[in-house]
Amino acid sequence: MTTDYERLAAINKDHLWHPFTQMKDYNNSDPLIIERGEGIMLYDVQGRAYYDGFSSVWLNIHGHNVPELNQAITDQLGRVAHSTLLGMANVPAIELAEKLVGIAPKGLNKVFYSDSGATGVEIAIKMAFQYWHNRGVRGKTKFITMNQAYHGDTIGAVSVGAIPLYHDVFRPMLFPSHVIPYPYAYRHEGGEAEALEATLTALRNLLETRADEIAALIVEPMVQGAGGIIVMPPGCLSEMAALCRKHGVLLIADEVATGFGRTGAMFACDLEDVSPDLMVIGKGLTGGYLPVAATLATDEVYDAFYADYEEQKTFFHGHSFTGNPLGCAVALASLKLLGERSMVEGVNAKASFVEHKLAALKDRPHVGEIRQKGLMLGIELVRNKASREPYDWVERIGVRTSLRARELGMLTRPLGNVIVFIPPLASTEAELDAMAHILAESIRNVTEGGSVT
Ligand SMILES: Cc1ncc(COP(=O)(O)O)c(C=O)c1O
C-alpha cells in the first residue's frame, strides 16, 4: 500500500515545476512536503519537525499558524474575500494604507498595492519612468542598479538585476541598466572604507556625466539579499541618497527583504534616516501569510500623475488582486502584533544573541566571513580561509550544508556558497540557540567531516 507521502511525492514529481530548482536533481531526491506549521516550526507529512531557519524565504515574522493572524483572515472572509481596487476601494486596503504611511520614512504618503516583490518593483520602475515623462522631461529613461542586485524575476525587475547566473540568459530581452558596485568588503583592514569609496566614486562619476539620462537608482538598502547577504558600511546609503537628490535622480528603495524589522529598524532606510522617493515592500508585509506588496510614493511623484484625464498622465498599471482584502486584513493584524509585542525593538537584542552564539564559528577553517545586519545573516564558506579561495560551484557546498541542516532539523536555502540564516523575528532565545547549534554542526559536518558538541 502506498503511504500518503509516496502518493504526494509521485504527483509532485509528475506535475510540479518548482521555482529556482533544477528539476533533474530535485526529482532524484526525496522531496520535503510540508503539511503544517506551528510557531517557528514546520512539520512535514511524515511528522518530522523543522525550525524555519529562513522564514520560508525571508518573509515570516510571527511564526506559523498564529491565532491573531488566522482570526483576521477568518473575520475578513466572513465579509468579502476579494473586490477590486480598479476605480473602487475596500475597507482593509484603506486602513492598511494609512498604517503604512504612518510607519514609512517621511514623505511617502501614497500606497500602490500589488502582489509580490517583483510586481512592486515593476511598479516603482514604471512610476519613475513615467514621472519624468509626465513632467515633460525627456531622455531620463535609464536606471542605475548595483552589482549582484536582485529585485525579482519579472522582466523589468530582471533588467535592474545584476546576478549573472540568474539574469544573463535573458539579457537580450532586457533594457540595459548602469551598474555600480555594491560596497562589498571582505573583512580586512580598511576593507569597508575602500568598498564605500568605490561605490560612491562610481555613483558620483555616473551622475556627474549621465544624470540627464537617468530616471532612478534602485538599491537594496543596508543589506543586499540574494547577492549574498552583503552589508553596507555606515554612511553609504545616506550618501547615495544625497547624491541622487543633488543630481535630480529618483531613489527607489527595495525594502522587500529588509522591511518590517528585519535589520533592527522598521525599514532599513530608517537606519540612516533616508527618505526615498519610492519604496517597495512585500514579503513581511503580511507577516509572511499572503501575497501582498506595495509601492509607496512621495506626493511629488504622485502629483506628476495627477492631472485632467485628457492630459494622459494616468498610471495605467494594475493587477487583478491589487489591494486584496484578505491580504490587507492580515497585514493590518501583523502590524498590530509588531507594535503590541515590540517586535522591531526586540531585534537588536536577538541579533546580538545570535552573533554571540555564532562567534566561535568564525574561527572554523572554512568559514570565510559571517555577515549580519539584525536578524539577516549570511555565512560564507571558503575552501581556503587564508587565500579566500572559494569552493568550486560544482561542489555545491551550500546545498550540501543546507541539506545537512535539514537532517538536523532546520530549514534554510543557500545563496551559492553562502549559508543563509534569517529566522522569524518571533524566534525566542532558546530557539535561536538551537538553530545556531544546527548551523554550526552542519557547517562543521560538511566542511570538516567533524561534529560540534
Ligand atoms: C530585495 C528583493 N526584491 C524583490 C524580491 C522579489 O520578491 P518576490 O519574490 O515576492 O517577487 C526579493 C525576493 O527575494 C528581494 O529579496
Do 163 and 231 fall into the same domain?
yes
**How does pLDDT run across 366-382, given as a tens digit for each residue?**
999 999 999 999 999 99
Pocket test for ligand 1, best of 122, 123, 150 (most atoms within 8 A of CB): 150
Residue 25 lies in a domain: no
When pLDDT is cut at 50, 70 and 90, the band that residue 190 belongs to is confident
Decide if 170 is inside a domain: yes
Average pLDDT of the residues in 354-363: 97
The Å distance, Cα 320 to ligand 1 centre, comes to: 20
Query: What is the C-alpha to C-alpha distance for residues 120 and 386, in angstroms, rounded to an integer?
Result: 42
Average pLDDT, integer, range 150-174:
95
- Residues paired with 180 in a beta bridge: 146
Asked whether residue 275 falls in the same domain as residue 356, the answer is no
pLDDT value at 204 more than 90: yes
Whether residues 368 and 311 fall in one domain: no
pLDDT given at position 2: 82
Residues 310 and 285 in one domain: yes
Tell me what pLDDT residue 175 has. Answer: 97
Specify whether 282 is located in the same domain as 361: no
As for how many domains the chain has, the answer is 2
Grade residue 187 by pLDDT with cuts at 50, 70 and 90: low
pLDDT digits 0-9 by tens, 112-140: 999 999 999 999 999 999 999 999 999 99
pLDDT digit string (tens) for 67-95?
999 999 999 999 999 999 999 999 999 99
Give the pLDDT confidence score for residue 186 in this predicted structure: 72
- Residue 309's SS3 state is helix
CA nearest to 418, candidates 376, 451, 369, 360: 369
In this structure, the answer to whether residues 58 and 82 fall within a common structural domain is: no
Q: What is the reported pLDDT for 185?
A: 81
- Whole-number Å distance, alpha carbon 104 to ligand 1 midpoint, is 19
In a domain, 453, yes or no: no
Q: CA 402 to CA 246: how far, in whole Å?
A: 45
Q: What is the pLDDT of residues 37-66, one digit of tens each?
A: 999 999 999 999 999 999 999 999 999 999
Task: Tell me: do 37 and 169 sit in the same domain.
Answer: no
Indicate the burial class of 297 (C-beta count within 10 angstroms; 0-12, 13-18, 19 or more).
Answer: buried
The last residue of a domain, from among 325, 340, 355:
340
| Test site for ligand 1: of 256, 269, 280, 292, most ligand atoms within 8 A of the Cβ | 256
CATH value at residue 202:
3.40.640.10
Q: What SS3 class is residue 88?
A: coil
Are residue 346 and residue 301 in the same domain, yes or no? no
Predicted TM-score of the model (pTM) = 0.97
> In testing the pocket of ligand 1, which one of 54, 283, 319 has its CB within 8 Å of the most ligand atoms?
283
* Amino acid 150: pLDDT: 98
pLDDT, mean of residues 304-333: 97
CATH code for position 391:
3.90.1150.10
H-assigned helices in 274-396: 299-303, 325-340, 343-358
In this predicted structure, the answer to whether residue 451 has a pLDDT above a threshold of 60 is: no
Distance 357 CA to ligand 1 centre (A): 28
First to last CA, the chain: 41
Domain with 52, as residue range(s), is 32-62+342-448
Residue 424 lies in a domain: yes
Residue 342's pLDDT band (boundaries 50, 70, 90)?
Answer: very high
Is 78 marked within a binding site? no
Cell of 149: 542586485
CA of 4 to the centre of ligand 1 (A): 33
Mean of all residue pLDDT scores within the chain:
96
Task: List the residue whose alpha carbon is closest to atom 7 of ligand 1.
Answer: 117
- Ligand 1 centre and the CA of 311: distance in Å? 34
Compute the distance between CA of residue 413 and CA of residue 425 in angstroms, rounded to an integer: 18
Both 104 and 53 in one domain: the answer is no
pLDDT at res. 226: 98
The confidence band for 453, taking pLDDT boundaries of 50, 70 and 90, is: very low
Do residues 109 and 210 share a domain? Answer: yes
Query: Same structural domain for residues 237 and 288?
Result: yes
In a domain, 182, yes or no: yes
Q: How far apart are CA 68 and CA 195, in angstroms?
A: 44
Residues touching ligand 1 (Cβ under 6 Å) are: 116-118, 121, 150-152, 220, 225-226, 254, 256-257, 282
Pairing of strands 214-219, 142-146: parallel
**pLDDT tens-digit series, residues 254-278:** 999 999 999 999 999 999 999 999 9
CB atoms within 10 A of CB 150: 28
281, 314, 340 - which closes a domain: 340
What distance in angstroms lies between residue 257's CA and the mean position of ligand 1's atoms?
6
Say if 290 falls within a structural domain: yes
Atom 3 of ligand 1 has which residue's CA nearest to it?
151
- Confirm whether 17 is domain-assigned: no
Query: Do both 313 and 356 map to the same domain?
Result: no
